[in-house]
Amino acid sequence: MAATAASKKTATAPAKKAAAKRAAPPARKAPAQRAPRVGLVPSGGAAETPAQIVEQEKAVSRKARKPVADPVVDLNAPVPPPYWDEACQDLMKRDRILRKIIPAYGPAHLVSRGDPFVTLARSVVGQQISVKAAHAVWERVAAACPKLTPAQMLRAGPEKLATCGLSKRKAEYILDLASHFKAGHLHVADWATMDDEDVIAELVQIRGIGRWTAEMFLMFNLMRPNVLPLDDLGLIKAISVNYFSGEPVTRSEAREVAANWEPWRTVATWYLWRSLEPTPVLY
């Protein structure tokens, strides 16, 4: 009897284990997580492994193309903004991506044309088109109106501006801008001492001038160091390519990445533009 009971007990144990295994719920898969941004330390504080760092730096090296000299302006001739060198050093310490991109372009830097009307007019020309296309159109505008003054633009009129490759609407925008300058409706002399948002608020009152165009003015004319043009498609693309392996990026994600660049977001933006298009942006 004892042997029979033991054999029953032995036979029952595997059966119970099998039943328990069948009853156990399937193991849940861990939710898929988005890959951490390259170049930033994750929020938990854990740094990437050496192997990850090597792969990231190789990826950036492939993206940072050899710079091409601007066909018109000698970028090394004008004096850089007074904050430029400090900003570059600070950004390279903080951001591994910029640590690779910034040295790829040597001593080149942001250049101001100095004339508020020209900067704004050129920004209007550059709305929603590529850097190369904008440069070509502007060269025609400059040939048609070599003085590039508001009065000369107004004398040229919409028809002549249209022959330069401007759309009818952009020609109207530039003429409206010229009218504002000629009539003295703008506080041009005060812009240098006004804060960024106040300058933007005044500029967006002009037809055809939106926030993006006003931000280009802050960057390229007033040389403000901490402008973040989130409406700029080139910047969003550059953040996607360099920090998210080409995945789509929301404005919120772009803003989060850019928080690491303050107070030098203008400088970081300029270099990220160049990581996609070696020919520098000029307004």
* Whether 155 and 186 share a structural domain: yes
Residue 145 lies in a domain: yes
Are residues 227 and 270 in contact, defined by beta-carbon separation less than 8 angstroms? no
Residue 49 lies in a domain: no
Residue 207 lies in a domain: yes
Confidence band for 69, pLDDT divided at 50, 70 and 90: very low
* Whether 133 and 213 share a structural domain: yes
Number of domains in the chain: 2
- ω before 263 within 30° of 0 (cis)? yes
CA–CA distance from 182 to each of 89, 178, 224 (Å)?
A: 42, 6, 25
**Which of residues 180, 197, 221 is at a domain's end?**
221
* Whether 130 and 259 share a structural domain: no
* Whether 256 and 128 share a structural domain: no
Are residues 246 and 38 in contact, defined by beta-carbon separation less than 8 angstroms? no
Confidence band for 239, pLDDT divided at 50, 70 and 90: very high
Is the pLDDT reported for residue 70 higher than 60? no
Residue 63 lies in a domain: no
Residue 15 lies in a domain: no
* Whether 120 and 178 share a structural domain: yes
Q: What is the mean pLDDT of the chain?
A: 80
* Whether 104 and 167 share a structural domain: no
Out of 49-58, 196-205, 240-249, 251-260, least confident range: 49-58
Encode pLDDT of 149-183 as tens digits. Answer: 999 999 999 999 999 999 999 999 999 999 999 99
Residue 76 lies in a domain: no
Residue 204 lies in a domain: yes
Q: What is the pTM of this model?
A: 0.71
- The CATH number of whichever domain residue 150 belongs to comes to 1.10.340.30
Mean pLDDT of 241-262: 97
**Which of residues 203, 221, 239 is at a domain's end?**
221
Residues of the domain holding 100 = 83-109+229-276
Is the pLDDT reported for residue 76 higher than 60? no
* Whether 123 and 259 share a structural domain: no
Are residues 225 and 81 in contact, defined by beta-carbon separation less than 8 angstroms? yes
> Distance (Å, rounded) from C-alpha 235 to C-alpha 248?
12
**Which of residues 177, 193, 221 is at a domain's end?**
221
- The CATH number of whichever domain residue 251 belongs to comes to 1.10.1670.40
* Whether 120 and 149 share a structural domain: yes
Residue 242 lies in a domain: yes
* Whether 262 and 195 share a structural domain: no
* Whether 213 and 268 share a structural domain: no
* Whether 91 and 161 share a structural domain: no
* Whether 240 and 156 share a structural domain: no
3-state DSSP of the chain: CHHHHHHHHHHHHHHHHHHHHHHCCCCCCCCCCCCCCCCCCCCCCCCCCHHHHHHHHHHHHHHCCCCCCCCCCCCCCCCCCCCHHHHHHHHHHHCHHHHHHHHHHCCCCCCCCCCHHHHHHHHHHCCCCCHHHHHHHHHHHHHHCCCCCHHHHHHHHHHHHHCCCCCHHHHHHHHHHHHHHHHCCCCHHHHHHCCHHHHHHHHCCCCCCCHHHHHHHHHHCCCCCCCCCCCCHHHHHHHHHHHCCCCCCCHHHHHHHHHHHCCCHHHHHHHHHHHHCCCCCCC
Mean pLDDT of 53-65: 42
